[in-house]
Structure 1
Amino acid sequence: MAANKQDLYSYHVFLFPFQWQYCGKDHRDKNFEEKTHLKYFCEQLASYAPKWRRRPLTIESRLIYNEYNYFYDFVRDILYDQDPKNQYGSSDLPSQDDVLAHFEYDIPEDSESYIIQTGGKHYELLIENIFLHLYNTGIGVLSFHLNNREPNQADPESILKINQFGRRLYPPFLALEMNRIGTLQQSLPGLFNEGLKICQYVELPQSIGLSFLEHEDFSHYAEESDFKKGVFRLPSFISGLMGKIPIITRKSDESMYENQIFLNPVLDDRMFVVCWYGNNDIVSNLSKDGKLLMSDGQKFDYLKDEWLYRFAYCDINLSCQNDQMIAKALKDNVNARWGNYGTFFAASRYSFVCLTNELSTLRANYAAFVLNHLQTMYYKIAELCLVQRSCIIRFSDEVSNISALNPAPGNQLAEKVSSLYKQYIRFVNRIYFREVTAQEQGIELYQLLQDNMRIENHVKDLDTEIQELHNYLLMEEQRKQNRVIGRLTIIAAVFLPATLFSGILGMNDLQAAFLDEGNKINSLIFNLAFIATGLVLGIIIAYRHQFVLSKLTRTKN
């Protein structure tokens, strides 16, 4: 069949998960909850990046209805921006209880492109949507939804290169020349430009850009001076979308502005990849006459397919050179429920992909809905798992920051831990789920992603970290209490003779009050006032201690 420019050969979503918080003079001493409230970020988008529009959910198409109806009701709050009404009286500003704010970028033209320039080829993908999801846990996800409609970039190797090069945020490494390795020259300072050139040959594209914004060529990573304050910088194709919002990516720059938003990748130099690819030839190599090929009566051919492994792990070159490991990885990470029909889903920590027949073949067999499922329900499942993983890393980072603090004045440390634990409880109840849908395929794919990202294990580890931090605070509070009790004991020992003497005088004055009209009970009033002052001070100290302990106990429970 002749290629049609309107045919969809592959579909790609690049998701950039990041952590964010308010910083600067006005936010330096605030707790976690205050530094991650959505209101200020949304105000900055409205003022300095007006092409972003907050779009609450409206069920205006069959696709949206099908997607919304796919999930359990209690899961929808984290998947959809459902209710824009809030205490500020504006649909653009979130309320205190909002978990998610969903924004869509106003793309100038329908024909705008996501452009990847490699050393050997130029790839151009039509932009369908650009979404920004902000969560009140200090996490955000920026996603590019892209269509590949070019027949000259529809071959299997081009798909691998689009996924490999198109997801990069910054260089994963600055390579050394082979003849320098093992010599004294391997430690020579500088030469960053040479290392960048090698990296751009094997892992990093020459540039990534949007057709309506400037391109990122990563050239600033060739200068040693750029690394003095940190490594990461927002690539131009992302920073351009953020307009003039005061965003910093290096905490050393915090003093430059009164109010800023600190933004940093949660993972590493890669964006998460969601991809659908249709190719009849590849599928026919894995199945025949509607049945999966059997190599030895026990193993399916797809367990030995090197291209499928590379597709699943977004590798241009095969990153595993062990047949047994390849077979095990594909067995563990490929869902072949519909393998007889030539449909395979695969997941890794950095990708979720789907291989099927070409779209024309799917249409002829009334199975084109598989593409829609990937674009809607399964994309949502992948993003949810990515958000869960990002939240865990974000909370763990906050635990580390709090643990590194010097003893804070007053109850600041206890308040910071209480705020963090409150957000953690929200995460457990509103973001982390054991199951998100009643559909068998959805249950399997959700679990596949959960297992790859080790979400359950990480949640248990995070719970232990927060519990240890809480126990540390209890120990510190007990130590403070012991110091206070010790001081009170010394004070009591010092004033005991005076108190005893005052008591004796009080008894004599009481007797004199009956015998001597002129001396009444003046001394008795003085002694009672002395005793009352001691009682008030004791009550204040006890109340303060009980207040701190009760706050920590509520946090624990």
Structure 2
Amino acid sequence: MIKKENTLFLLGGHDLEMLTIKKLLEEKGFTVIDHELSWGAKLSSYTEVLKEHQDKTIYGVELIEDIAIPKNYHAIDHHNEQVDKASSLFQVLECLELKPTREHKLISANDVGHIEAMKCLGATAEEIKSIRQQERTIQGITAKDELQAQKESEAVVEKNGISIIETTLDAFSPIVDNYEKRPLLVYSQKSFTYYGDIAFLKEKYKKQIENKEAYHSRGYFGFDTAYVGLVTPNILVKEIVEVKQKNIISYHNFMFPFRFDKIVESFEDRHEFYKKHSFDKRVKIDESFKNSLEKNKWKYEPFEVKNNLDYNEIVYFHDFVKDTLFNTAKVFDEGATSYYFEKKLNNEATFELKVKGKEPYVLKLEGVNLRLFDTGVGILSFEVENYDYYQIEDILKINDYGRRVYPQFLGANFSTEDTKKSFLPESITVNGIEERFCDLYKEIKLAKYIIEILGDSFSTDTSNEDKYFLQPIIDDRMFVLSWYGNDAFVTCTKENIENDNWYKYVFVDGNDITVQDTSMHKELIEKATYKRWNKYGTFFGITRYSFVCLSQNSGFTRDDLPLPHMKTMYFQMVSLLLAQRATLLRFSDEITAISDVKGGENPSSENISVLYKNYLRFVNKLYFKEVTAQDQGIELYDKAIDILNIKRDVEDLREEIGTLNGYAFLEQEREEKKEMTKLSKLGTYLIPPTLVAGFFGMNVFGKESLNVESTGWLASVILLTVVSPFIVNFFINEKKKTDKGKK
């Protein structure tokens, strides 16, 4: 802890954070000099103090360094070039060796990233309202100002996706606190602040930042009053509107794993159908299947290295994994492990999501692809990009509501209204195909966009012969692969990975957090989070139904990593993991079907043998203990294998299928033994005639030896010889029955 006697603190512009710092320092007995400055306070305001106290250690809190810096001076700030540091309040707490309270955390988040950062911290509506009200009180906001802010907000203008509000107020808080849409630009003739993704502004106004004419933290960007007066705000507005390009804010890949079986003949009972027709008859990806898919606008896409991303993607994996994931053959190969198809979309294709009580989310549908595996499972993927919705609650809702393929539960009278109040969307429209979830659900009905996009090669009608019977293999949710770039969210998560919004993002909770026990929350999020790049502000989260990434939003994170990695190698890795999990579930169902015998019926040895052959192929061609030589890839893959319980399930399946195969082997041995027993009995019955023939010779029936006496005697001997084994066998069986009765 720093010494009070030799230390002096100089305070910058007044706001809630600054006054909280002042109170803390005074309570601990430190000397604090406060000139009651406003926002944009400069170090030169304390020139005389610096000269007078050259013998002391001086800390300046959020003061723009517009004069030469004395050797005994230390800056405490988190703006501009110091944006990666903790908040000024947290830096002071560290100097005092104090732990932050809940209120300190909220005040810090408010100062670093405004309401968005407080939401990232999991602040309640009441907490946010309280903090913002304190902030407005310090700024001297009156009831008249609040009314003026409301009036000016109604005159909002939208240009190039930016909400623009001109105000006569000195402080912007009554506008910003009550206008939720982002990005938002608020300006007056003296001040100018932009709220939202500020990466493009930091790039454009580098020089102004270096010259202390512009400032920024995480989630907002503004200009010094003198600079605004010099350039004029209207010119700044025009510059920003013209330079702003829509950068991707978040990426979402919804992945639907399913199983497929060729409907060789119509059926009602699935398990009876599986027993009657072997695995190989039901799962066959051949030329006719490919042609059927092509009639439904699916195009088989062999993998080619066309750019640096393609190269990075394929060299990332071990050679034996490439053979499974990448169709490198120019022509369709019926012996491949997997097959990749794409559906061509126009540039205007959208993924539209309507959630009760919200404006529709209209997102760019970047791609639709289909991967089929020779284990009879497939993955249908929807690549979605978000350029318009910045706030964390929007991202959470897109992930949670966008993954639904049928209602998880129903209300009274088979209603979906209660479900839609929880997590079922009002509707999902994919490339013009709308699902409103309004059917009379008495069984699982897949969403229309799933059925129609897959096409009529697949069917949920078991009487539709020669089509492929389509079944979801997990539940009502698609798997979510997602990237989100948000600087304020990153800061909050760097400080504490146990914040509610990180948990919600990882576990895909669109509304309330689904764990209400502190110790369980901590345990689950620790297990799910991969923190190798914590200091760089990049986090990965893995659960049984999600693989997500959070990073800052910049040209580097969008164009270099981690977003390109999420779209390529991590997408491939997740596809492999999902195929493994889906195959394990499918094989378990196959074993259940084969074992489901009635009465004296025995499982089909042929079906067991075919299934065992395919299991061995799965273990050698689809289940890998390592997929890449890259450390991060090894660690992420191991983490996913553990969380998805794949290793455990492979061991369980090995035991199940081994037992079943052992049973089939024993049955085969028993059948062979039964046949051998029949042959042995036949041999036994033939022994007496053989002995007679051997004793008398084959000429015993010659003409010279045939007379009445010899013939009668010989006939008696032969008859006795033939009948005697049956008599002996009769008494042996009677003896067994008697012994059994005594027991």
Amino acid at match of 2:667: E
SS at 1:137's partner residue? coil
Pairs within 5 Å for 1:481-500: 481-500=672-691
Report deviation, 1:360: 4.6
Equivalent in the alignment of 1:232: 444
Deviation at 1:490, TM superposition (A): 4.1
Distance 1:271 1:145, change over 3 A: same
Q: 1:79 corresponds to which letter in structure 2? A: L
Q: 1:204 aligns with which of 412, 418, 424?
A: 424
2:410 is aligned with 1:174:
yes
Among 257, 260, 263, the residue aligned to 1:20: 260
Equivalent residue letter for 2:291 = E
Whether contact under 8 Å (1:9, 1:359) holds in the other structure is: no
Asked if 1:217 is matched to 2:217, the reply is no
Contact 2:597 2:603 survives alignment (8 Å): no
Contact persistence 2:264–2:282 (CA under 8 A): no
Q: Is 1:146 equivalent to 2:380 in the alignment?
A: no
1:528 aligns to what? none
Task: Measure how far apart 1:434 and its partner are.
Answer: 0.9
Q: Deviations over 1:395-434 (max 9, x none)?
A: 111111111256999x992222222111111111111111
**1:401 maps onto 2:401 in alignment:** no
- Taking the aligned partners of 1:202 and 1:23, their CA distance within structure 2 comes to 37
Provide, for residues 308-358 of structure 1, a one-character-per-residue CA deviation record: whole Å limited to 9, x for no partner: 011000012111111111111121110111101111000000000001111
Deviation at 1:233, TM superposition (A): 2.4
Paired residues in the alignment total: 455
482-491 or 125-134, which moves further after superposition? 482-491
Distance in 2 separating the partners of 1:412 and 1:455: 27
Could you list the per-position Cα deviations for residues 155-204 of structure 1 after superposition, in whole angstroms to 9, with x for gaps in the alignment? 1001111110000111111146xxxxxxxxxxxxxx112xx110011021
Which residue does the alignment assign to 2:652? 461
Report the alpha carbon displacement of residue 361 of structure 1 after superposing the two structures with TM.
Answer: 7.3
Question: Where does residue 59 of structure 2 map in the other structure?
Answer: none
Give the number of the structure with larger relative contact order, counting CA–CA contacts within 8 Å between residues 6 or more apart.
Answer: 1
Once residues 398 and 119 of structure 1 are traced to their aligned partners in structure 2, the CA distance between those partners, rounded to angstroms, is: 40
CA contact (8 A) 1:359 1:368 kept: no
Letter in structure 1 aligned against 2:536: Y
Question: In the alignment, which residue of structure 1 is the partner of 2:279?
Answer: 32
Displacement after TM superposition at 1:368 (Å)? 4.1
1:377 to partner: Cα distance: 1.1
Structure-1 separation of matches of 2:619 and 2:493: 41
For residue 364 of structure 2, give the secondary structure of its aligned residue in structure 1.
strand
1:536 is matched with which residue? none
Whole-angstrom CA distance in 2 between matches of 1:362 and 1:21? 42
Letter aligned with residue 353 of structure 2: I
| Cα distance in structure 2, aligned partners of 1:6 and 1:485 | 79
Conservation of the 8 A alpha-carbon contact between 2:259 and 2:377: yes
Residue range with higher mean Cα deviation, 500-509 or 474-483: 500-509
Q: Does 1:383 align with 2:623?
A: no
- 2:318 is aligned to 72
Q: Deviations over 1:81-105 (max 9, x none)?
A: 11143xxxxx4xx32x211111000
Q: What is aligned with 2:539?
A: 344
For 1:219 and 1:491, how far apart are their aligned partners in 2? 71
Q: Distance in 2 between matches of 1:270 and 1:36?
A: 25
TM-score by length of 1: 0.77
Kept in 2, the 8 Å contact 1:5–1:149? The answer is: no
CA positional deviation for 1:30: 3.9
Which residue, out of 373, 396, 409, partners 1:135? 373
Contact 2:370–2:381, Cα closer than 8 Å, also in 1: yes
Shift of 1:211: 3.1
Runs of 5+ consecutive residues of structure 1 not aligned to the other structure = 86-90, 177-190, 288-292, 294-300, 517-557
2:424 maps to amino acid? L
Write the mapping of 1:80-159 to structure 2, written as runs, cut at 5 A: 80-85=326-331, 91=332, 94-95=333-334, 97-107=335-345, 109-121=346-358, 122-150=360-388, 153-159=389-395
| 1:472 and 2:472 aligned | no
Go from structure 1 to structure 2 and tell me whether the alpha carbon gap of 1:491 and 1:56 turns closer, same or farther (over 3 Å shift).
Answer: same
Letter in 2 for 1:24: V
Counterpart contact for 1:139–1:390, Cα < 8 Å? yes
Aligned 8 A contact 1:266 1:390 in 2: yes
- What is the one-letter code of the residue matched to 1:248? S
Task: Select the residue among 290, 304, 309 that pairs with 1:58.
Answer: 304
Q: Tell me the equivalent position of 1:262.
A: 469
* CA 387–421 in structure 1, closer or farther in 2 if over 3 Å, else same: same
Secondary structure of the structure 2 residue equivalent to 1:104: strand
Which of 266, 270, 276 in structure 1 is aligned with 2:483? 276
Work out the CA distance in 2 between the residues paired with 1:473 and 1:412.
8
| Residue 508 (1) aligns with residue 704 (2) | no
Say if 1:407 and 1:413, in contact at 8 Å, map to a contact too: no
Q: Distance in 2 between matches of 1:163 and 1:241?
A: 20
SS at 1:218 equivalent: coil
Whether the aligned pair in 1 keeps the contact of 2:257 and 2:474 (CA below 8 Å) is yes
Residue 281 to residue 259, structure 1, CA distance change in 2 (3 Å) = same
Give the alignment partner of residue 529 of structure 2, picking from 306, 322, 334: 334
The equivalent residue for 2:503 is: 309
CA distance in 2 between counterparts of 1:14 and 1:478 reads 49
Contact kept in structure 2, 1:116 and 1:166, CA below 8 Å:
yes
Alignment equivalent of 2:456, drawn from 221, 236, 244: 244
Q: Report if aligned partners of 1:278, 1:358 keep a CA contact under 8 Å in 2.
A: yes
User: Retained in 1: the 8 A contact 2:353–2:428?
Assistant: yes
Deviations 1:485-514 (A, max 9, x none): 44444434444433433444544359x69x
Q: Does the residue aligned with 1:219 lie in a helix, a strand or coil? A: coil
Distance 1:502 1:234 in 2: 77
Measure how far apart 1:212 and its partner are: 2.9
For normalisation by structure 2, the TM-score amounts to 0.58
Residues of 2 paired with 1:324 and 1:344: CA distance?
21
Shift of the 328–452 alpha-carbon distance from structure 1 to 2, 3 Å rule, reads same
Distance 1:45 1:286, change over 3 A: closer
Could you say what secondary structure the match of 2:604 adopts? helix
Distance 2:689 2:436 in 1: 81
How has the CA–CA distance of structure 1 residues 361 and 248 changed in structure 2, closer, same or farther, with 3 Å as cutoff? closer
Which residue of structure 2 aligns with residue 192 of structure 1?
414
Corresponding residue SS for 2:605: helix
Query: Deviation at 1:478?
Result: 3.2
Q: 1:326 to 1:508 in 2, by over 3 A?
A: same
In 1, the alpha carbon distance for the partners of 2:423 and 2:493 equals 29
CA distance in 2, matches of 1:77, 1:419: 23
SS at match of 1:484: helix
Partner secondary structure for residue 126 of structure 1? strand
1:553 counterpart residue number: none
Q: Percent identity?
A: 35
| Structure 2: 5+ residue stretches without partners | 1-193, 198-243, 268-272, 706-743
Verify the 8 A CA contact 2:252 2:383 in the aligned structure 1.
yes
What's the offset of the Cα at 1:258? Answer: 3.1
Point out the more displaced range, 60-69 or 18-27.
18-27
